[in-house]
Amino acid sequence: MMSKTLTRPILALYLLLSLLPIYWMLNMSLKTNEEIVGALTMWPSNLTFDNFKTIFTDPSWYDGYINSIIYVAINMILSTAVALPAAYAFSRYSFLGDKHLFFWLLTNRMTPPAVFLLPFFQLYSTVGLMDTHLAVALAHMVFNVPLAVWILEGFMSGIPKEIDETAYIDGYSFPKFFVKIFLPMIKSGVGVTMFFCFMFSWVELLLARTLTSVNAKPIAATMTRTVSAAGMDWGVLSAAGVLTIVPGALVIWFVRHYIAKGFAMGRV
Amino acid sequence: MARIELVDLAHAYKPNPSAPSDYALRPMNMQWDDGGAYALLGPSGCGKTTLLNIISGLLRPSHGRVLFDGKDVTNLPPEARNIAQVFQFPVIYDTMTVFDNLAFPLRNRGWKTADINKRVQQVAEMLELTGDLKHRASGLSVDAKQKISLGRGLVRPDVAAVLFDEPLTVIDPHLKWLLRRKLKEIHHELKLSLIYVTHDQVEALTFADKVVVMTQGEVVQAGTAQELFEEPAHTFVGYFIGNPGMNLLPCKINGGAAHLAGSSIPLSPDASAALSGATGNTTLGIRPEFVECEFEQMPDTAPATITSIRNLGTHYLAEFRLGEHTIAAKLRQLSASAGEKVWLRLPAERTLYYVNDKRVA
Amino acid sequence: MKTYNNRAWFLILPVILCVAFSAILPLMTIVNYSVQDILSPTQHVFVGTEWFRMVMRDSELHGALYRQLIFSLSVLAIQIPLGILIALSMPAQGWKASMSLVLIALPLLIPWNVVGTIWQIFGRGDIGLLGYAINHAGISYNYTGDSIDAWVTVLVMDIWHWTPLVVLLCYAGLRAIPDAYYQAAKIDGASRWAVFRFIQLPKLRNVLMIAVLLRFMDSFMIYTEPFVLTGGGPGNATTFLSQYLTQKAVGQFDLGPAAAFSLIYFLIILLFCFVLYNWMQRVGTGDKK
């Protein structure tokens, strides 16, 4: 590897710069609005948790978090569940149109969400799914499922076919083999997949806001509402922002071993 | 060409090893002569790769020293030791041609282009790679790639020893033989010291002049193929070498004879003397090649029943039941069938005795 | 080797249904709209390729496309090398590795509007550390008023936001290189640069392809972050394609032209990715292990 004397400072510098904006937001979330617009200080002179309190006590705020978590969770599970058999098929079998199908799946990831705005609006209205968590979860599957299939296929290809065959000879039925033998072997792949599904669904705003109004409104929408309201509530806004980082940080903390080991999206 | 010595060498991953099991490589001493071909033989995890990496400099031992021609190289990095190492899978530079691959070490040393060309051609010819020099290395077959890996090691004229870490693992069986023969040719021509790590005894015994057998971090015996076969110093060697390995039967020593399963095998006077007063597990060892089979009770034989007979063309492989023990024997002729009662003779000059797995007589 | 079995389609069926529902139906709607003039919900007039021609001639669109291309290319040019550099600087194992990974990945997990908000605050001269510091250093900096400042801020924001993705991918790729390669290079006396050029970079080829593809696609589709940060301004200095499309579709409610533009937009990305994908496949004849 590169010599430590050179790389450690580079890494340290990058981490410092990278964390600076986040630190700044944290800083602001612990100040009152008066202090924020008054003078620029590196840390709060009057530490206050009021901003966070507002979020935890005001339903219009914390509902946003709950809604987001709900549809992201639904999406994670659905995307992974649907992608697993498909990835297995791509990995183990060749069939009519397989390469084209794979590419078509990938193209879904390539479509700008902006393109889907209106059609989705009309589609989900027609089906009566407007303003539901399921709608957002389904909409997000457009770009998460192809990615999930892509990643899982790569990991599955790393498992030799002989394992499948041995299991069949040993008398396992396909579902039993899949759940008891195969899945544990691609644990890291499933971990990485769910991480990506979480990530891309949690952070997406445009579709989430378009498809919801009141009941399933994500936290992202609540925050933009704040900005356009009269008077910038910087403190609460910053607190809300800090809280949106927390679930992500937790997820990445839990999958950190998988990332270190098996982040390779398969074909690496 | 280098005389390699290992002095009080040991390696442990933990800082303060106390028990033998803390060591990946237990304390050992070894000398390897200039220009010889040696094999490190043992099952997976026995420490042979650790030992190899210590010799090559990729691993710094936690105890002891490594000497090349009397010079202490323990703290020297690999590139300063004039060694070459070939790994389990071909390690080549994908983006370079075969020529560039072979030339790489020389370029790094600042050689002149004309000299590089000459040397690379020499080595390529030796390895029968001349036709592929202009091709991209990544497109060649696996065995050709291993030859390139080897070539990069041979291309430096001052290379003293070539170390191999199970290099034929990924090669197809029918090509293994060709490569092995090529290695022997090179050994003859260049007279380098070669150290070859493998878990395959056939490879080790055919390749090397002297084989070092290892198990669980310990060197149990170093010797020629014949020595290992006829006089294994450790039960592991007896069991590991030979196909099938040595018969190892627990026994009790009493009154000048070894007792097992109700029969007594008389001991020679030397054996008897060596075994008197021995405390610990006593094991009797005899190779299937030396077990004799009689159809009538003779003096100094033990009764046994045939459990299976297999005709392997050149000989018969039979298994016998002696009490609760199983004995295998390789016999030239055996006209008998399973279930028959026979008497087995274990010739004293071929029977070896081990106390706590180490040879005593 | 894969066995040929058309019954594999049953395994794919759930995926096809989901994605078809979410993708094909809308796409059909778009195609439908792109060739019609929607005068009112009940009055549709077929106009053929008129919208397409109109969109192609739209100079505002050209401007947005031009800005978008510059943005995406700048993004690639900076994030890929930077990502490789940081990945090389990270420890290979141990708690420090885990720690670095978590900290590096943090920006990736922030909702995109919050990313915009963070930088909106950070870059302000009155309440933001960055804006304040720059202005105090004597450089006049105002990302809402000055186009160059806005561009730089949007770029830095994107670099801050997405370089971690490249880092994580390259990091995984580096971990996949067997030790034996480094050992052999040591024995060959290779320099640090040679190790990078002849071992690490070639072995990262696949990962880099994924990184380049993903970054290009995502940067070409970017909407939320720049919208929150600059609103596309000042003027339309930082208005990229997605925002332009949204403006047309939602703001002006011109469904026909918007639909036509959507199709063109999608096809542009598709084309670039197809070309990129094939090019990178050809770049190394790569041995498939």
**Closest residue of chain A to C250, computed from CA coordinates:** A118
**To the nearest 10°, the Cα dihedral for A33, A37, A41, A44?**
-10
**Closest residue of chain A to C251, computed from CA coordinates:** A118
* Helices B113-126 and B142-154: angle between axes, nearest 10 degrees: 130
Q: So what's the pLDDT on residue C160? A: 95
Q: Is the CB of residue C256 less than 8 Å from the CB of residue C43? A: no
Contacts of A138 in chain C (CB under 8 A): 18, 21-22
Listed in sequence order, the residues at least 6 apart from B72 whose beta carbon sits closer than 8 Å to its beta carbon are B65, B66
* Helices C25-34 and C255-283: angle between axes, nearest 10 degrees: 120
Average pLDDT over residues B179-204: 86
Contacts of C5 in chain A (CB under 8 A): 93-95
User: Three-state DSSP class for B239?
Assistant: helix
- The whole-chain average pLDDT of chain B stands at 86
One-letter identity of residue B163: L
Average pLDDT over residues A33-56: 81
Cβ contact, residue pair C284, B95, below 8 Å: yes
The residue count for chain B: 361
Q: So what's the pLDDT on residue B120? A: 92
Intrachain domains B4-238 and B245-359 with the same fold: no
CATH topology of domain C64-283: MetI-like fold (1.10.3720)
Residue A74 has pLDDT above 90, yes or no: yes
User: Three-state DSSP class for B299?
Assistant: coil
Interface of B with C (CB under 8 A): 56, 58, 77-79, 83-85, 87-89, 91, 93-96, 104-105, 108-109, 136, 138-139, 149, 152-153
Q: Is A42 inside a domain boundary?
A: no
- Interior CA angle at A150 toward A178 and C173, to 5°? 105
Interface of C with A in 55-74 (CB under 8 A): none
Q: So what's the pLDDT on residue C287? A: 34
**Closest residue of chain B to C181, computed from CA coordinates:** B91
Interface of C with B in 268-287 (CB under 8 A): 284-287
A149-159 pLDDT per residue, tens: 888 887 787 77
Interface of C with A in 117-176 (CB under 8 A): 117-119, 121-122, 126-130, 132, 160, 164, 168-169, 171-173, 175-176
Q: So what's the pLDDT on residue B294? A: 85
- SS3 track for A32-59: CHHHHHHCCCCCCCCCCCHHHHHHHHCH
Q: Is A24 inside a domain boundary?
A: no
3-state helix, strand, coil in chain A (%, to 5): 80, 0, 20
Helix (H) or strand (E) holding C205: helix C205-220
Contacts of C132 in chain A (CB under 8 A): 40
User: Three-state DSSP class for B11?
Assistant: strand
> What is the spatial distance between Cα C167 and Cα B184, in angstroms, rounded to a whole number?
47
Residue B271: which of B156, B173, B349 has the closest Cα?
A: B349
Average pLDDT over residues B289-318: 86
Return the percentage of chain C with pLDDT > 70, whole number.
Answer: 92
pLDDT-based confidence at residue C154 (cuts at 50, 70, 90): very high
Cβ contact, residue pair A252, C105, below 8 Å: yes
Contacts of C21 in chain A (CB under 8 A): 138
Listed in sequence order, the residues at least 6 apart from A250 whose beta carbon sits closer than 8 Å to its beta carbon are none
Q: So what's the pLDDT on residue C167? A: 92
Q: What one-character DSSP code corresponds to residue C137?
A: T
Contacts of A116 in chain C (CB under 8 A): 26
pLDDT-based confidence at residue B313 (cuts at 50, 70, 90): confident
Phi, psi of B174 (to 5 degrees): -75, -15
**Closest residue of chain C to A80, computed from CA coordinates:** C15
Residue among C15, C30, C97 minimizing CB distance to A149: C15
pLDDT-based confidence at residue A227 (cuts at 50, 70, 90): low
Q: So what's the pLDDT on residue A228? A: 46
> What is the spatial distance between Cα B192 and Cα B321, in angstroms, rounded to a whole number?
49
Listed in sequence order, the residues at least 6 apart from B350 whose beta carbon sits closer than 8 Å to its beta carbon are B286, B287, B290
Cβ contact, residue pair B89, C178, below 8 Å: yes
pLDDT-based confidence at residue B211 (cuts at 50, 70, 90): very high
Q: So what's the pLDDT on residue B203? A: 86
Q: For this complex, say whether ipTM is above 0.85.
A: no
Average pLDDT over residues A3-21: 86
Average pLDDT over residues B216-237: 88
Residue A260 has pLDDT above 80, yes or no: no
User: Three-state DSSP class for B292?
Assistant: strand
Give the CATH number, domain containing residue A241: 1.10.3720.10
Residue C12 has pLDDT above 90, yes or no: no
Residue among C180, C286, C287 minimizing CB distance to B91: C180
Q: So what's the pLDDT on residue A2? A: 54
pLDDT-based confidence at residue C289 (cuts at 50, 70, 90): very low
Q: How many CB atoms lie within 10 A of CB C152?
A: 14
Which chains contact A through at least 3 pairs of Cβ atoms less than 8 Å apart?
C
Average pLDDT over residues A228-236: 65
pLDDT-based confidence at residue A268 (cuts at 50, 70, 90): very low
> What is the spatial distance between Cα B241 and Cα B231, in angstroms, rounded to a whole number?
11
**Residue A102, domain extent:** 58-262
Q: Is the CB of residue B184 less than 8 Å from the CB of residue B170? A: no
| C276 and chain A in contact, CB less than 8 A | no
Q: Is the CB of residue A204 less than 8 Å from the CB of residue A140? A: yes
Residue C109 has pLDDT above 60, yes or no: yes
> What is the spatial distance between Cα B352 and Cα B45, in angstroms, rounded to a whole number?
28
- Nearest Cα of chain C lies from the Cα of A216 at a distance, in angstroms, of 16
Cβ contact, residue pair C284, B88, below 8 Å: no
Average pLDDT over residues A126-136: 85
Residue C113 has pLDDT above 80, yes or no: yes
All structural domains of chain C with their residue ranges: 64-283
C66-82 pLDDT per residue, tens: 999 999 999 999 999 99
Contacts of C83 in chain A (CB under 8 A): none
| C271 and chain A in contact, CB less than 8 A | no
Residue among C92, C103, C173 minimizing CB distance to A15: C103
Q: So what's the pLDDT on residue C288? A: 35
> What is the spatial distance between Cα B13 and Cα A111, in angstroms, rounded to a whole number?
53
> What is the spatial distance between Cα C233 and Cα C227, in angstroms, rounded to a whole number?
9
pLDDT-based confidence at residue A229 (cuts at 50, 70, 90): very low
| Prediction pTM value | 0.80
Cite the beta strand spans of chain A per DSSP E: 93-94
**Closest residue of chain B to C188, computed from CA coordinates:** B105
Residue among C6, C15, C113 minimizing CB distance to A82: C15
- C-alpha dist (Å) from residue B12 to B50, B85, B141, C288: 10, 23, 38, 37
Q: Which comes out higher in pLDDT, residue B64 or C286?
A: B64
Average pLDDT over residues A58-87: 89
Interface of A with C in 167-186 (CB under 8 A): none
- C-alpha dist (Å) from residue C51 to C31, C58, C68, C259, C263: 11, 10, 22, 9, 11
C186-232 pLDDT per residue, tens: 888 899 999 999 999 988 887 788 788 889 888 988 988 888 888 88
Interface of A with C in 189-228 (CB under 8 A): 199, 202-206, 219-220, 223-224, 227
Greatest C-alpha distance within chain C: 77
Residue B11: which of B39, B47, B38 has the closest Cα?
A: B47
Q: Which comes out higher in pLDDT, residue B279 or B30?
A: B30
> What is the spatial distance between Cα A190 and Cα A143, in angstroms, rounded to a whole number?
17
Most trustworthy range by pLDDT among A33-47, C216-230, C250-264: C216-230
- Interior CA angle at B207 toward B130 and B81, to 5°? 70
Handedness of CA B117, B119, B125, B129 (dihedral sign): negative
- Nearest Cα of chain B lies from the Cα of C198 at a distance, in angstroms, of 6
Helix (H) or strand (E) holding A79: helix A59-92
Interface of C with B in 129-188 (CB under 8 A): 178, 180-181, 183-184, 186-188
CATH architecture of B245-359: Beta Barrel (2.40)
pLDDT-based confidence at residue C270 (cuts at 50, 70, 90): confident
State the first-to-last Cα distance of chain A, in angstroms, to the nearest integer: 19
Q: So what's the pLDDT on residue A225? A: 66
Q: So what's the pLDDT on residue C85? A: 93
pLDDT-based confidence at residue B169 (cuts at 50, 70, 90): confident
Residue B293 has pLDDT above 80, yes or no: yes
Q: So what's the pLDDT on residue B99? A: 92
Q: Which comes out higher in pLDDT, residue C44 or C57?
A: C57
β B37-41/B210-215 pair status: parallel
Radius of gyration for the alpha carbons in chain B, expressed in angstroms and rounded: 25
- For residue A256 the two structure tokens come to 């950190």
Q: Is A48 inside a domain boundary?
A: no
Cβ contact, residue pair B152, C285, below 8 Å: no
**Closest residue of chain C to B138, computed from CA coordinates:** C287
Residue B358: which of B278, B259, B273 has the closest Cα?
A: B278
Q: So what's the pLDDT on residue C75? A: 93
Q: So what's the pLDDT on residue C163? A: 95
Residue A265 has pLDDT above 70, yes or no: no
Count H helices, E strands: chain C?
15, 3
A207-217 pLDDT per residue, tens: 888 888 888 88
Contacts of C102 in chain A (CB under 8 A): 249, 252-253, 256
Residue among A11, A85, A101 minimizing CB distance to C100: A11
Residue A200 has pLDDT above 90, yes or no: no
- For the stretch C145-148, contacts whose Cβ atoms lie closer than 8 Å and that sit 24 or more positions apart, written own/partner, are C145/C234, C146/C234, C147/C234, C147/C235, C147/C237, C147/C238
Average pLDDT over residues A238-244: 87
User: How many domains does chain A divide into?
Assistant: 1
Q: What one-character DSSP code corresponds to residue C238?
A: T
Listed in sequence order, the residues at least 6 apart from B41 whose beta carbon sits closer than 8 Å to its beta carbon are B48, B198, B199, B201, B204, B211, B212, B213, B214, B240
DSSP string, B264-289: EEEPPHHHHHHHTT--S-EEEEE-GG
Cβ contact, residue pair C184, B85, below 8 Å: yes
Q: Is the CB of residue A80 less than 8 Å from the CB of residue A193? A: yes
CATH homologous superfamily of B4-238: P-loop containing nucleotide triphosphate hydrolases (3.40.50.300)
